[in-house]
């Protein structure tokens, strides 16, 4: 018999990492929650062949897809989300911009990685 508290914690993490990337990804098209382009490292923004807003829309599609992968293949999706959040955090830290957001993203990356690790035990 499965350990119910572990299953509940797993499901909380799973659905958090389904909903949050999809909502954040969709918001890249509307900027209702924030102006997402402000988080682009200025050095990186200068290298883009298109606007920061266009780049963030591409990011939005990636985030939506990541959320769907977490729903369908939680272990793989967890590793993808963990890697994605780590890259975002490192990008923010390189420019020493939004360090608070970078730290938050690293904590979320650890949670996504942990979800991926326990998914085998919970879904086996």
Q: Average pLDDT of the chain?
A: 93
The CA distances from residue 91 to 8, 24, 41, 61, in Å, are 33, 18, 7, 19
pLDDT tens, position by position, 54-71: 999 999 999 999 999 999
Q: Is the pLDDT of residue 1 over 60?
A: no
How much is the pTM?
0.90
Under a CB-based contact definition with an 8 Å cutoff, are residues 72 and 50 in contact? no
- Residue 104 confidence class, pLDDT cut points 50, 70, 90: very high
Tell me, what's the pLDDT at 63?
97
Q: How much of the chain is helix, strand and coil, in % rounded to 5? A: 80, 0, 20
User: How large is the average pLDDT for residues 40-61?
Assistant: 91
CB 97 within 8 A of CB 41: yes
Answer yes or no: are the C-beta atoms of 63 and 21 closer than 8 Å: yes
pLDDT of amino acid 2: 58
């Amino acid at each position: 018999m499965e350990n119910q508290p572990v299953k509940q914690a797993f499901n909380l993490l799973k659905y958090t990492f389904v909903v949050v990337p999809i909502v954040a990804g969709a918001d890249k098209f509307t900027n209702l929650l924030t102006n997402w382009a402000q988080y682009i490292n200025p050095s990186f923004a200068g290298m883009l062949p298109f606007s920061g807003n266009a780049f963030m829309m591409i990011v939005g599609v990636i985030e939506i897809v990541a959320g769907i992968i977490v729903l369908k293949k939680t272990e793989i999706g967890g590793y993808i989300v963990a890697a994605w959040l780590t890259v975002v955090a490192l990008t923010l830290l390189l420019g020493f911009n939004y360090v608070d957001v970078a730290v938050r993203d690293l904590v979320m990356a650890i949670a996504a990685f942990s979800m991926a690790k326990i998914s085998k035990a919970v879904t086996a």
